[in-house]
Each structure stands twice: as structure tokens, then as C-alpha cells.
Structure 1
Amino acid sequence: MAGSFQLSRRQSLTLGAGFLGYLTRAALAPRQAVAADVPVAAGGNASSSQRQVIVGLSQEPTVFHPLLPHIEVDDGVLMNLFSPLWRINAKGAFIPDLVTVIPSLENGDISPDGRSWRIRLRGDALWHDGQPVTAGDVLFTLQTLRDPAFPAYTRSGFDLIDHVEQTGPLELSWHMREPYAPFHAVLASAMIVPSHLLKGKTDVSAFSRAPVGSGPFRWGERIPSEEIRLKANPHYHLPKAEIEDAIIRYIPDLTVMFTQFETGEIDYLGMQGILPDRYPQARTLQHRTIIQAPQPFVEGLAFNMGRPCFQDLAVRQAIYEAIDKETMLKTLFQGIEIPTESFLPAESPFFDPNLPPHRFDPDAAAEKLERAGWRKNRDGVRSRNGLRLEFTNATTSSNALRTQAQEIIQQYLSDIGIIMRIEDRPAAVMWGRYWVHSEFDSALVSVDYMTGSDPDASSFFMSTASPAKGGRGQNVFQYANPEVDRLFQEGNRTFDRTARIRCYRRIQQILRNDLPMLPFYQINNIEGIKDTLAGYESNVNVRSNLWNLSEWHWT
């Protein structure tokens, strides 16, 4: 509990190793591979069949209808069962899947005003039950995502379509009320579903128990709370999977999952990865490659700017200056996590590398508050015009490491006369109405602010996107800046990449100054794979590094 916390800040940092990203590691993405260089005990390369791969995940996939709300761990299964119109690779390039060509202004499949689109499908794609994939399936998928009665995982872009029609067995077109440049990225993660199995069905539970897609793997079986088995699709329209069976095993205990990776019982250790305090040991494993995999998630402290004290920019800036972010990251994460000043991952071409670096300066923070009229009372707490500078901070409860992180921040703020009370909640409460309708004061949270692989974060930062103010979106900060609104609208309506980069870099600069949330770090997942398993490629543009499982093979 916060009231009984008596350790020094240095002791807190040492004991808190592995805190913040512990809960929120989710999607996966990659850059650095560190080859193991010290032998381990015998059995470290215990066998898997050369025709199968066993994947270890600490969360269990449970949603198998791709148009329903789902989380990152579900993506790893859905991306292998179903096909989108096109995919996005690790370099950020769109690659045709069900289409013969990706629509663009240049090839004429997008009209000059960006509002009319034409889709041309390949003719050899089949559903796993042998039926052909047609334009009717794409039409049904789009209509489902546009239907306000359907609980869709997203409506971004789909709600802008005002007319869609099938113009041939393998061709369809649609018209949008306004151009929406991020739609390419949205469609890269929109899996097409079979109309012949779902049209007219209000109950999709049977389909979810035995999903039928057109992807590189077909459904095998599911043993709840244990594993899912996928079988290679022999009729896949793209190069066939090089393994016959993919076993996705649910191992909720991270220590047990690490041990199974060490002994060779699993071939790939994915979400939630290896904890930072296990990283040195992991690097000693023989015949293993340990990967630092950047994710699109940014961890930070979110402010509810509907609260009077957070409406003062000086308060938000002083809080950031009072936190020794660099020491926290070095001590708690052994230098693994990636410090950031942006809401975008560093791998995005829209990322601004020239944002002002964070500065730890509690004296300057205190002086900033003094100048803004926040003076210390006899009890050491600052106030202005009768308003005390104290607030609550919340995150998911039942996580001792994350609570220690809050206590560390709590100490930093106490040093400059700010009281932060810790009031954590169960996940179902924390991320329900309490979060969505801005009932919190401040929160520790990890968020992927992008729309797919696109930098569009308008849902989080446009003034019209705050549910607490009657808007549609995820602006739980209740942040409002007219220039940011204008830049999002401009950036989303042009297909000119240079113009979009200019808009989004300016948005990052404004948000770095306004600080509706304090950006601590970009999550860097630590994953592991056997040296003889080739084809793995980390991809920050998707939420699961199982995105190209069909290309994995044993050497």
C-alpha cells in the first residue's frame, strides 16, 4: 500500500525490476537478434517434429471470428486462418493477398479525389471448405463492418463508405463520403469472411467454434485452456506453408513458459515474452536466438484534462520534469525498453526523431509550479486558489511490480509538493467505463495509438473523439487543440506521403509540448526462437509476430 511504503527511491527502483510493461506486453515486433553464446544444460534442443512448430503464448486466444472485437493474442491465430485483401510486411510495404493489385491513385483504382475505390480479386482463392472466394464475400464483409447492429472490432473508414457494389465475380467498387488515406492500413488487417456460411446468421457461435477461412492454415482443434492446432492449407492461393502443423500452446505462467523454451518443449516463445530480469539468463541458452522485438505500444502516464489541476500546462510539464525516467528505465528494464517522446513507434516513417528529450530536473519543476501560482501549504502540498495539487493514479490491480512503479512516481511527485494517491482496479473495471468515460484522474497505461500501421491517432487526440463529451472515439484525455484537429483532418484526407509526414510530425511536436500523456517508453518485447527454425521476422506494423508463420521452416 502507498501509505506503508518506506523504501528509498533507489531501493524502490532496484526492487521494482520488470514493472510497467509486464502486464501490457501484447503485440510483437522485431529488430535486434542476439544469438546465444554460452552453452546450457543438455536437452536444450529437445525435439519438435520437423513438420510442426510449437508456439508458446502466455495469453489464450479466444476469439476466432475476425470481425468481432479481439485482442493481440487472437491476431496470431486469425492472421493464419483468414486472408485480407492485402497484408503489410516488416518493411511497411503492402503486399497483395486476395487482390491482384493494390488500388492506388497511380493505377487508377482510386479516383483523383480519393473517394472512389475499385478492388480486383485473384480467381484462385478458395475457402477451406472448397468454395471459391468471390467479390460477394468482400461485399458481405464490408457490409457487416458498416452495419451499426453488428459489434464490429472497428468501423474506422468503413463508416465513411456511402455506397458499395459488386461489379463482377471478382470485382467490386465503393464510394466514400470523404477521402481517408489510412484506409489502406485498415484494410490490411480486415480479414475477409465467407458469406455462404455467415450471411443471414445472427448467431455466429458455431462458426467461431470451427472457423473457415482462406488463409495459409485451416482449423484443426482447440483444447480450451491448453492449445490450438492449425493444419497447413494444401489449397492456399499463395506459397504453401512450409510446416504441416502449428500448435499454439497457452502457458500462463511466464516462468513455466521460459523453462519449456529452455528445455526445448516449445520452439518459439512469444507473447508476453521473457521478463527483463530473465534476459541475461536467456542470452546464455545454447541453440537459441533471443530477439528484442519493438512493438507499437507506448507506455505512459495519461492525464484526464477534465480535472481542473491538469488543465494547467505548467502542472503537466512539471510532473514530467519531476520523474527520473532515464534511471527508471535503466534500472527496472536493464536498458531493454526504448525511451520515447512520441506516441508513434520509432520504426514508423512518420516518427519525429527530433522531439525535445526528456529532462529530469525537480528544481526546475518546482520553480515552474511556483511561477504558475502553485504554492506549498504548511503540510507541504501545493495549492492555488483553494485547489490542492493532489490526484489519484490507477492501473490494473493485482500486479505488485506495477504498484511499485506507481510508488516510485509517487515519491518523485511528493518531492515537489504533489500528492498522488494510488487507487488501482481489476482489469474489467479499469478498462471499462472508468477508462472509456474518463472517470479517472490519471492512469498508467500502454496504448497502440496508430490505426493499423498508419499514424492516424485522431481517435485518441481529436477534440470530437471524447466519449465523456459525447464524442465517438478514444480521447479519454479530454484533450482539445484546434491545430491538432486541423492537422489530423489534413493528414487523413491526402494521399501525398510527404504532406502526411509533415502533418504528423507537427502533431507530435504539439503533443510533446502539451503532454496530455507523459510518454515513458515504447515497449520492446523479448522473444526467443530455436536457431534451426528459420523464417521468423519481427514486424512492428502488426500486433503478432506470427504474421508470417506460413514462411517458418526447419533448417
Structure 2
Amino acid sequence: MNKKRLLSMLALILIVSTVLAACGSNNNKEDGASNGAGKPAEAKEQVLHINMSAEPPTFDPGQAQDSQANTALKLMYEGLVRVDDAGKEVPAAAESWEISPDGLQYKFNLRKDAVWSNGDPVTANDFVFAWQRVLDPTTVPAAPYAYQLGYIKNAIAYNSKEVTDFSKVGIKATDEYTLEVTLENPTPYFLGLTSFYTFYPVHASVKNNAAWATDYKSMITNGAFNLSNWTTGQKLEFTKNDKYWDKTNIKLSKIEASLVASGASELSSYKSGQLDFAGAPNGEIPSDSIPTMEKQLPKEFSKKGTAGTYYYEFNVTAKPFDNAKIRKAFSMAISRQDIVDKVTLGGQIPAYGFVAPGIKGIKDEFRTENKDDFFTENVEEAKKLLAEGMAEEGYTTLPEVTLIYNSSESHKKIALAVADMWKNNLGVEVKTENLEWGVFLETRQNLNYQIARAGWSADYDDPMNFMDLWKTDSGNNDSGFSNKEYDQLIKDSLVSQDNNVRMEKMAAAEKILIQDEQVLMPLYYYSNVYLTKENVKGISVNYNGAIDFSRAYFE
């Protein structure tokens, strides 16, 4: 063979080898990512890439109150039970439980193979410690979800300092692995509540470490994953907890979450293979891209109605929205159908009430049994109410009005659309302002706003989850609303053992909230729109839209 022919053969072999190597390499992308054309690449490592769009404001289960924290804490902690895709309670830190015939006492039997990430056993006293910490009236800042423990005997009395001896609260560790809970009244949804992050256990070491929730290296957790890296404003990294009792069923070795607020950037990263999941509830797909993604990637696209409501809330203590007629005028002067058809494009349903579809009622859904017909969209009536409200307040022109929302392309589009409707239909100029998530929450909680974007997804399957939010003493009531009749209706429905009476009183409370006082203006009932690579399985999105990545895996 001559030298020229030999060189040609060697060159051919080199080309073939290079092509073969490239075919088996995943094109230098992260394992488990797509090849960029919608086709899933072979997963060599179980590393899931997601985007959370915003940093959780806290990693303290007792202080958490948002969906970002919910997603992170669900990976890091585990309550007495977990809730599966169908909303059914399954064993978690508790391997079994017994409920007394009268529905007042719960006995949770904790599993003996559950340990904290530092190797300490997870005991009943860890739950007692965590729940007392939530209820403790000296906790600063006060736990926003303390009222969720209010179903427990004397819990609210202890939280309000009417009872000072915690031993009188219905939370007892009868031994190291037995937790007994006594309720004020039978509460059918209490078991499901124990899966919520406010009910998670907390390691006793936090008593001596003020920075425990801000330093990932000192966090001791009991969930399937540990927070192993945290670059502020950029990314979170969760690594499989090898001490977790159910580790054999945890397939992922790591979850890497970017913190990018741009929906366009998130979608681009998904399409290029840098993300394995994109969209709600923690990120977003730009609304104008939804129809295209549904057509182009039908096997990866999901659209799912969820038990949640997107709304704007008024600060009823701030002018001009301390006047109910002005609040009603603003709510009546927009077209919700146009918002869902032309702006959000995700299959949402226009909302005229607060309790979302999918929540249990008496025999059917609460929303089916109690129609959300508390008001109608009527521009002429809205103009009339606005004029009457302004006259009552002595306005010739309205004070300057600002609508705030947290940084998000979809929130911005909705805000601009609504502001444009107010301008065209009422002749009112409304300034829109976006705020970073943590700043936004603080601004809303401090009542330092006039109108604010908000959203509420069910924590448990009962209308009470929506209605007790607006009690005067609720830690999540960011409107300044306080109404004795409303508070009494909620109190009565909490103690009633007649489900018909409960539902009747909550329906009456919703009428006060929306029809009489218009404390908030509902916009639409949620749907989650998301994309998942075809070789990713096991991601759980339940009835309320909450997402759980802990059991995900690559096929």
C-alpha cells in the first residue's frame, strides 16, 4: 500500500471514530438533558436540572409561606405524611396512625429508621419542638402560618397568650416514637395538613444557631435531599441524602436549580437541553410561546387545572381603596375573558369568586354548589360606582395609584393589560411596579401598597383553606381587612360538626369578602403549564399545583 493511500485510510478511520464518539457523548450537555430537538438524550447520571425563577425567602419551615419555599422544603424535609398526586395521604415520617372514633385524637407512630442528616434519630419530640416554635407568641417574626395549627386543642390560646403553659396544648410525645395530637373539634382534613411545611419537624440544634436557616452548611434536615450548595441569586443545589430512610426509592443523585426570573430565558434553556423541566409552578413559559410549545412538543407539554386563584388584593387601609365602591369599580371594569384568551393563554378560567374549583363541598365541589356570581363586569356600572366613591371621599381626581407585582414576565403582561383596561374604561392612570420576590412579600405584608398581585393555592382540600386567610388575625391577611361578622362565620364553621352548616357559613363569608366588601378582585383560576423531557418520570404535580421533584428519575 502506498503512502498516499495509507494516509487516506487513516483519515477515514479517524473520521468514523470521531462520529462514533460524538454519537455516544451527549454533545457535551449535562446528563439527562435533551439534544435540543425535543428528543431526550440517554441519562447517564441522575441529575435533574430545573429553574425556580426566584430564591426562597426562607429555608425555615416555620417562616415559609410561598411556593418557592414549598418546593425547596419538600425536598429537604418530611412531615408525618406525604400527599401523592391524587391528594391521598401516604406514610412518611410516621409509618402509621390511628384516629379516635370521635375524630378528636390522632396517634402517630413514627418510624424508627428515620434519622436527621447528621445521624440523630427523628423523634416525636422533634415535632413537639417544631410546632411549639411555630405557636410561641415570642417568636420574632411571628410564624405566618401559626393559625394552621389552630385546629389543635389550646393552640390558638397559647399563641395569643391566653394559655401560657404549653403542656395544656394538645401536642404530646408519649414516648420517643409516638406523637399524640388532640384537636379542638373533628377536622376531616387534619391528616393532610400534617404534610404541609409548617408541620415539618425541626432539629433542636436551631435553638443555639441563629443563622441555621441562612447557612446551608449548618442545616440539619430529614428529607430525601440536602441543600448542598447555595449561590445567592444564582443557583441552589440539592444532593441525595444517603441517611434518608427511603433512600432506595430516591433515584436522583442531585437536583440543580437555577434562579432566573426570565420566562424567555427559562424556555430557551429548556429547548437547548440545559433544563429538564420548565414552567409552573416555580418558573414560567412565556404566555405567547404556550400555543407553539403545545404544537411543537406535544409529548413534553402539560396543561393542568389546579385548585388555586390568581387575584389582585386591595390594601383596604390605604387611599383610595379604603372605599368599597372604588374597589368594586376597579374590579368590574376589566375583562377577565380577554386576560385568559389574549394574555395568559394557558387554559385558565375567569374567576368571580375566591374558592377555586376542585375543592370539596358537601356532595360535589364547593364551587359547583356555590356559584361564583358575586359581581359582573360592567363598565357603565363601574364608572357610576367610581363617581359615587370619589364623591363620598371628596375627590375631584383620584390619588395616584400604583399596582405592584413580583418580577415575572407573565405578571408584568397581566399588570399592563389590566392597567390599560382601567385607563380605557375608567379613565384612571395606574402605575405598575415590579419588585424582587422577597421585597415584594415584605412590602405586601407591611401594607405598604395600594394594589398588589397575589395568588393562593390550596394547602388542603377544604374551602376553609381559602376562607380563613382573611380572618383579622391571619398571618397571611395582607389586605388590612377586618370584619367581625366574617370572623364569626369562620369561627362557627371551624367548630361545627355539621358539614352542611360549615359549607353554608363559608359561602356566606365568601359573599362578604367578594360581593359586599370586594377586598380582592379575582382574575382567574390557575392552570399549570409546563414542559418535561420525555425521559424524565416521577415528577408529582398534585391537585393544588404544588410540585414534588423528590421521586423524579431518568428512564
For this structure pair, what is the TM-score category when the shorter chain's length is used for normalisation? 0.7 to 0.9
Q: Does 1:128 align with 2:117?
A: yes
Letter in 2 for 1:57: M
> Which residues of 2 match residues 419-498 of structure 1 at below 5 A?
419-422=428-431, 424=433, 426-427=435-436, 431=440, 435-441=444-450, 443-448=451-456, 454=462, 455-457=464-466, 460-462=469-471, 464-465=472-473, 473-494=475-496, 497-498=499-500
**After TM superposition, where is structure 1 displaced by more than 6 Å over at least 4 residues in a row?**
176-182, 397-401
Task: Give the alignment of 1:30-429 within 5 angstroms.
Answer: 42=37, 44-49=39-44, 51-61=46-56, 63-69=58-64, 71-102=66-97, 104-106=99-101, 110-111=103-104, 117-147=106-136, 148-149=138-139, 151=141, 152=143, 154-158=145-149, 159-160=155-156, 162-163=168-169, 164-174=171-181, 183-190=190-197, 192-193=200-201, 195=203, 197-204=205-212, 208-224=216-232, 225-231=234-240, 233=242, 235-237=244-246, 240-270=249-279, 271-286=282-297, 288-294=299-305, 297-306=308-317, 310=321, 313-334=324-345, 336-350=347-361, 351-353=366-368, 354-356=371-373, 359-367=376-384, 373=388, 383-384=391-392, 386-388=394-396, 390-391=398-399, 392-396=401-405, 405-406=414-415, 408-414=417-423, 419-422=428-431, 424=433, 426-427=435-436
Q: Helix, strand or coil: the match of 1:523?
A: strand
TM-score by length of 1: 0.75
> Against the structure 1 CA distance between its residues 429 and 86, is the aligned structure 2 distance closer, same or farther, given a 3 Å change threshold?
closer
Count of paired positions: 491
Task: Say whether 1:553 aligns with 2:553.
Answer: yes
Pick the structure with more helix per residue: 2
SS of residue in 1 equivalent to 2:72: helix
Matched AA of 1:248: A
Deviation at 1:488, TM superposition (A): 0.7
Q: Secondary structure at the match of 1:352?
A: helix
Q: Which amino acid aligns with 2:509?
A: I
> How far is 1:119 from its partner?
3.2
Give the stretch that moved more between structures: 510-519 or 146-155: 146-155
Residues 396, 273 of structure 1: CA spacing in aligned structure 2 closer, same or farther, 3 A cutoff?
closer
- The answer to whether the Cα contact below 8 Å between 1:156 and 1:186 also exists between their aligned partners in 2 is no
Question: Secondary structure in 2 aligned to 1:390?
Answer: coil
Alpha-carbon distance between aligned partners in 2 of 1:327 and 1:390, rounded to the nearest angstrom: 26
Question: Aligned partners of 2:244, 2:386: CA distance in 1, in Å?
Answer: 66
Alpha-carbon distance change, 135 to 448 in structure 1, aligned in 2, over 3 angstroms = same
SS at match of 2:530: strand
Q: Deviations over 1:137-162 (max 9, x none)?
A: 22222232233235445322444264
CA distance in 2, matches of 1:71, 1:508: 23
Q: Distance in 2 between matches of 1:44 and 1:490?
A: 55
- Any idea what the Cα deviations from partners look like across 1:77-99, whole Å, max 9, x if unmatched? 32122110112233333323222
Larger relative contact order (CA 8 Å, sep ≥ 6): 1
Indicate if the aligned counterparts of 2:117 and 2:243 stay in contact, CA closer than 8 A: no
Q: 1:459·1:473 contact (CA, 8 Å) conserved in 2?
A: no
Task: Report the RMSD for the aligned CA atoms in angstroms.
Answer: 3.8
Q: Deviations over 1:475-507 (max 9, x none)?
A: 443434444222211222245544433332333
Matched to 1:518, the amino acid is M
Quick one: distance in 2 between partners of 1:206 and 1:322?
44
Report the CA distance shift for 1:389/1:473 in structure 2 as closer, same or farther (over 3 A). Answer: farther
Distance 2:457 2:520 in 1: 12
Gaps of 5+ in 1: 1-38, 375-381, 466-471
Q: AA paired with 1:360?
A: E
Q: Which amino acid aligns with 1:261?
A: Y
**Residue 281 to residue 180, structure 1, CA distance change in 2 (3 Å):** same
User: Does the C-alpha gap of structure 1 residues 553 and 202 become closer, same or farther in structure 2, counting only changes over 3 Å?
Assistant: closer
Q: Mean Cα displacement is larger for which, 272-281 or 318-327?
A: 318-327
Structure 2 unaligned regions, length at least 5: 1-33, 150-154, 159-167
Shift of 1:232: 5.2
* Partner residue of 2:504 out of 502, 505, 525: 502
* Distance in 2 separating the partners of 1:410 and 1:473: 29
Name the CA distance, whole Å, in 2 between partners of 1:200 and 1:255.
Answer: 43
- Specify the SS of the correspondent of 1:188: coil
CA distance in 1, matches of 2:459, 2:190: 9
Provide the TM-score with structure 2 as the length reference.
Answer: 0.75
Partner in structure 2 of residue 532 of structure 1 = 535
Q: Residues 20-31 of structure 1: matches in 2 within 5 Å?
A: none
